[in-house]
Structure 1
């Protein structure tokens, strides 16, 4: 992860602040059109999820889906942006994404266009050549964070891992235009 992420919770006026963790795709950004376009470009036919693809085609799909060119299909996800802006008033916000670090500049620009004050959040991205499942990568990062108050993600597996690591954290599953608070 490097030195860009200070893993201890900051103190403000002697009071510990909570850490609020947000995913990008499916939480802050609606990537549904990018998903459809990537599936179309790899010739996936009627398939609606990359999980349904054969391994070779799935690998090609991820290269296309995670291309800078296709980020143009993304749209801000208003509910996620509103929650992030609110949490900035409460503590430290970390944007934790499975996007590869080669998309850092494009991701920061996209988040800024969506209304995220990028100088006030910390962006943690997948390092080069890291091909682990999203929930494994994110769990490794979450283990290094203290004081996690909330985790916002669109994948149940990520939230299950977060529950094991931070049992007191509130977990938000984002879907469509809304979200659900998962019970402990």
Structure 2
């Protein structure tokens, strides 16, 4: 029997609504510790959760986030608390500050060596563009309110 294809989901802005904690990145210096600590209180996006649940019909759901590895325990608890499918979680190494479009694509290419990636679901336009350019099918998560603060954190600060 062959392994089912993977449905790869981002977290922040795709499954988790980060709106309530973005103010922590608007100050100088940015309060990254508080920003990630507040992730435990993120409400889920109904659209993202529904898509993840539907994806289990013919895929194995896994997660690929730009959150640092030190947030693993809280992130797994958040996924379980909101009824998301169990699945492997890939995270950014704690001190890796490269843009999300680079770190995520690097991990996706590694994943795709052994498994078919059915689709990648992400809110970050630059991540989506890079994935499409590399040949991965993409579903753009457009249900979050666009945020310049989060976009900057994803691309320039290399943090989410």
* Bin of the TM-score, shorter chain as denominator length: 0.7 to 0.9
Counterparts of residues 99-110 of structure 1 (less than 5 Å)? 99-110=67-78
Structure with higher Rg: it is 1
Say whether residues 1:132 and 2:102 are aligned partners.
no
Deviation sequence 1:17-48 (CA, Å, 0-9, x none): 22111000111111111113x146x36xxxxx
Counterparts of residues 13-162 of structure 1 (less than 5 Å)? 14-36=1-23, 38-39=24-25, 42=27, 57=29, 60-66=30-36, 68=37, 70-118=38-86, 121-146=87-112, 147-162=116-131
CA–CA separation in structure 2 for the residues paired with 1:117 and 1:150: 16
| Change over 3 Å in CA distance of 1:79–1:126 after alignment to 2 | same
Deviation, structure 1 residue 86? 1.2
Contact residue 14 and residue 144 of structure 2 kept, 8 A: no
Deviation, structure 1 residue 156? 0.8
For residue 172 of structure 1, what is the aligned residue in structure 2?
139
Deviation, structure 1 residue 177? 5.4
Deviation sequence 1:55-82 (CA, Å, 0-9, x none): xx3xx2444322x2x1244101111111
Deviation, structure 1 residue 109? 0.8
CA–CA separation in structure 2 for the residues paired with 1:130 and 1:142: 16
State the TM-score, normalizing by the size of structure 1: 0.70
CA–CA separation in structure 1 for the residues paired with 2:81 and 2:63: 15
Consecutive unaligned residues in structure 1, runs of 5 or more? 1-13, 44-56, 179-184
Structure 1 or 2: more strand by fraction: 1
State the TM-score, normalizing by the size of structure 2: 0.79
